[in-house]
Structure 1
Amino acid sequence: MVRPRKTDVPDTTRVIDLTAGAIERLTCRTDSKAQAFLRDAKAPGLRVRVTNTGHKAFVFEAKLNRQTIRRTIGDVRAWTIEQARTEARRLAVLIDAGINPNEQERQQQAAAAAEQAAAAAQAVTVGAIWPLYLENGKPKRKEAWKPRYRADLEAMAAPGGEPKKRGQGVTRPGPLHPLLALPLAGVTEDALQVWFEREAQAGRHQATRALMMFRGFLRWCASRPEYRALTDRDAGKAPAIVENLAPSTTRRTDCLEAAQVAAWWQCVDELGNRTASAYLRALLLTGARREEVAALTWANVDFQWRKLTIADKASDSRTIPLSPYLAQLLATLPRQGPFVFASTGKAGRITDARASHATALQRAGIGHLTFHGLRRSFSLLGEAAGAPAGAIAQIMGHRPSAVAEGYRPRSIDALRPYSAQIEAHILALAGVQLDAQAEPGKLRIVAHGNSQ
């Protein structure tokens, strides 16, 4: 047999002791194949692969369970022959042990990726998830947050530092803001106890309310597959925290007594802010919630058929009768945009009439009376007027007792007499005489002789 010359291209059909020269001369000599292999005699399974583009790399090839296992070791320019032989022998040991090195590497990569993902998940903070909760969370059996509760959630987690709307200085961070920096996995009983004790020093009732809101956040996180493993849903229910919660707020009973209606009405009527004056009277005459009345738009006031459609806390909206006095009162308001109780502020509507109400209460000599107290007053005055409890509840947007009345929702026409009956009783207490024939806004006051 003629011995090949050192300058000859290596014969890929033979097994040889790999040398740098042989690797350098190796080519893929046929166009019919994309690659060719040169086998090494010293390390079984080691080959040099050359492609028809001239790229060369060390590879390992062996059989495992009748399946060809091929694995690239590395570029011939990066690996020496001895390094490649060492790696080939290591891979051969794995094959002898019944281990597929490719599968082993995939498993190792998957485990590393899982470990990295777990570490990343452990680092996810409450602050990173909180905006998602605001966007996608919702209360039980509701489709979305009510605007007021959503605003409260945002305020509870606000960073503070904004100029105060009233008084001097800047706002302080919301009670929940310190929790935003915690990893979700770090929200434990101990962490919440430390947070609650610190916030309770500034105000226990506010800290308690913040905790109740944060419990809702934890429930939402526990319901999401991506956060479930990181969430201790019951962290906020630790005995050490629950024992220090503020006691349940005493049920408020503030309301206008019948004897106070006239003084309240007159002082509200005399307010310099006519929009606030009309807004406060509308609260008393409808029994609606303050945000429901504040968000009332002209599009939802039907003067022809005497109806109001207002946003409802329990459902999307409810329609109630537009009583005679209220219809004339609303007609006196200028139309300055879509909202009935318009304002030049950012919201475009009245948002806070507490200052005006406080002024009227002070002038009338009436103690503390909340906006919800006006709602409560409507209910009590409605009962005094003789209206059925179910009709009062339906106008107010409450769920009436089915036991009490065998309750069935009344139509607007069926509610209208009771709405007018309640309004007439309130006007009588206020000393206001309604001229039903007057043009809109022509309301005559009997008690103190002024006309509007």
Structure 2
Amino acid sequence: MSKDTSRVRLTAGRVEAFTCPAGKAQAFLWDTEAPSLLLRATPTGRKTYAFESRLNGATVRISIGTASDWSLDTARKRAAELKQLIDRGEDPRELEKAKASHKAAAKAAATAHALTVGDLWPDYLETGKPKRRDAWKPRYLEDLKRMSAPGGEPKKRGKGTTRPGPIYPLLALALVDISEDALKEWHDNEARASKHQAARALMMFRGFLRWCATKPKYRGLVDNEAGRAPAILENLPSMKRRTDALEAAQVAGWWAGVEQLNNRTASVYLRALLLTGARREEMAGLKWADVDFQWRKLTIADKVEATRTIPLTPYMAQLLATLPRVNEWVFASTKTLSMAVYNAKRRERDATQAGRTAPAGEVSTVSESGRMSDPRSQHAKALLSAGIEGLTIHGLRRSFSLLGEAAGAPAGAIAQVMGHKPSATAEGYRPRSVDALRPFLTQIEAHVLALAGVQFDAQVEPGKLRVISAQ
């Protein structure tokens, strides 16, 4: 206790008149009515009430408040409360810390309980990469964004606006509210629009729940098993892996059916899928700038990597060279082709009326651009003609792999042409150059053409394909 102290019965007047003597850092005035209450003054004129007592042989001093904020009576009552705690052997400072901690915990719990899926979803897209991977696969990340999009955007094809993604309704739910019942209700509602989309959205959302369960601050808020409720799983559509592929004996019939299609672009496109094993969107996105007729190479937008380059085999080169160049896309849309033909006929008519010779050569480029969108209807016509059932567009990719094996090409070369990850190759992974791949892809092409009953002269200039026979 400071020696610059005195004890008096505090009154409002004495509190008002009390000051810190010149040259002193502080001064104290003790209350005789409440012996544990003191008034502290500093040279700045600030006056503060405080409580001081002893507990277990140690001095305990606790600030109560300024004299301007606390009345004398209120300060005495507070000092009396603190003295009662001291008399019971309790430290008011520890009690205050515990109270503050409890309050903070309650506030944190309330905040956590208010945390929604939408609050964490951006962080999940940013950092929730799968195990043993450096990042999301670009296509899967785009699917996650599309599945959780709010909709309302103009449709790229057709009229109207897009509908919200299947996961979007879950973004508004609090993490603590993601239960089996909540997910079942959500899934049943989404399944009315598309069972397979709802099932895929559920699998994606289960990945989000697993990610939350790995974070200590979210682990206690989520039920990682909510998406595995028997009531949900028993209603999921079959997710069996497709195994459809062309049998060797079916190649000739399929080839003939595709070759007879009225849509020349679709006909070449479907055969290109079988001859390269490319994915549907990879081939549909092929541009003329990606086709190197001089050095016989194709650069394909890859699902796993940014791009991959494969050999342009002889028959494939001749097929592509027969397509008209109406825009940047190798497989231009039917609408674009129709406009190109219309414009070409109009120029021919105008030239004839003017007494000039119509320009020869390629069909001219039109201002409207576009690429082929969905070849499934054309493929269905070819399958009907060939009497083949159940073969999907992706089944052509599996067919390439199987026919490549039958042709005797190494599994690693087949996988590299198809754009499989290195870990997916059957042999030890040895990336080959384009020239090293060329004989194997040419070997596969020759095997497919033999099964299709197609003969051609590989020395013919691309663009002048001459089919000798087709069985």
Q: Do the two structures share a fold, i.e. TM-score over 0.5?
A: yes
TM superposition shift of 1:237? 1.1
Residue aligning to 1:17: 9
Residue aligning to 2:23: 31
CA distance in 1: counterparts of 2:372 and 2:235, whole angstroms = 33
Residue aligning to 2:233: 242
Q: Once structures 1 and 2 are overlaid, which stretch shifts more, 228-237 or 277-286?
A: 277-286
CA distance in 2: counterparts of 1:29 and 1:333, whole angstroms = 102
TM superposition shift of 1:168? 4.5
Question: SS at 2:5's partner residue?
Answer: coil
Of residues 183, 200, 215 in structure 1, which corresponds to 2:191? 200
CA distance in 2: counterparts of 1:384 and 1:50, whole angstroms = 98
Contact 1:262 1:431 in 2 (8 A): no
Gaps of 5+ in 1: 1-10
Q: Answer yes or no: is 1:143 the counterpart of 2:134.
A: yes
Q: Answer yes or no: is 1:379 the counterpart of 2:369.
A: no
TM superposition shift of 1:169? 4.2
Residue aligning to 1:220: 211
Residues 85 and 299 of structure 1, relative CA distance in 2, 3 Å threshold: farther
Question: SS at 1:253's partner residue?
Answer: coil
CA distance in 2: counterparts of 1:23 and 1:86, whole angstroms = 17
Question: SS at 1:60's partner residue?
Answer: strand
CA distance in 1: counterparts of 2:269 and 2:290, whole angstroms = 16
Q: CA RMSD of the aligned region, Å?
A: 3.9
**Residues 295-310 of structure 1 aligned to structure 2 (within 5 Å):** none
CA distance in 1: counterparts of 2:118 and 2:107, whole angstroms = 21
1:60 maps to amino acid: F
1:411 maps to amino acid: R
1:373 maps to amino acid: G
Q: Answer yes or no: is 1:362 the counterpart of 2:385.
A: no
Question: SS at 2:28's partner residue?
Answer: strand
Contact 1:262 1:430 in 2 (8 A): no
Residues 25 and 277 of structure 1, relative CA distance in 2, 3 Å threshold: farther
Residue aligning to 1:7: none
Higher relative contact order, chain-length normalized (CA < 8 Å, sep 6+)? 2
Question: SS at 2:182's partner residue?
Answer: helix
Alpha-carbon displacement from aligned partner over 1:109-146 (angstroms, at most 9, x marks no partner): 12111111111111111122222222222234322222
Q: Answer yes or no: is 1:433 the counterpart of 2:456.
A: yes
Contact 2:196 2:237 in 1 (8 A): yes
Contact 2:318 2:465 in 1 (8 A): no
TM superposition shift of 1:193? 2.1
Question: SS at 1:257's partner residue?
Answer: helix
Gaps of 5+ in 2: 337-368
CA distance in 2: counterparts of 1:433 and 1:183, whole angstroms = 65
Question: SS at 2:95's partner residue?
Answer: helix
Residues 111 and 296 of structure 1, relative CA distance in 2, 3 Å threshold: farther
CA distance in 2: counterparts of 1:233 and 1:105, whole angstroms = 37
**Residues 260-299 of structure 1 aligned to structure 2 (within 5 Å):** 260-265=254-259, 267=261, 270-271=264-265, 280-293=270-283
Residues 250 and 268 of structure 1, relative CA distance in 2, 3 Å threshold: farther
Contact 2:125 2:141 in 1 (8 A): yes
Contact 2:413 2:432 in 1 (8 A): no
TM-score of the pair, normalised by structure 1? 0.79
CA distance in 2: counterparts of 1:423 and 1:186, whole angstroms = 56
Q: Once structures 1 and 2 are overlaid, which stretch shifts more, 124-133 or 300-309?
A: 300-309
CA distance in 2: counterparts of 1:325 and 1:206, whole angstroms = 39
Alpha-carbon displacement from aligned partner over 1:61-98 (angstroms, at most 9, x marks no partner): 22334443322212212322121111111112222333
Structure 1 vs Structure 2: percent identity of aligned residues?
A: 54
Residues 402 and 157 of structure 1, relative CA distance in 2, 3 Å threshold: closer
TM-score of the pair, normalised by structure 2? 0.76
Q: How many residues align?
A: 426
Residue aligning to 2:443: 421
Contact 1:383 1:389 in 2 (8 A): yes
Alpha-carbon displacement from aligned partner over 1:15-48 (angstroms, at most 9, x marks no partner): 1100111111111122341x32211111122111
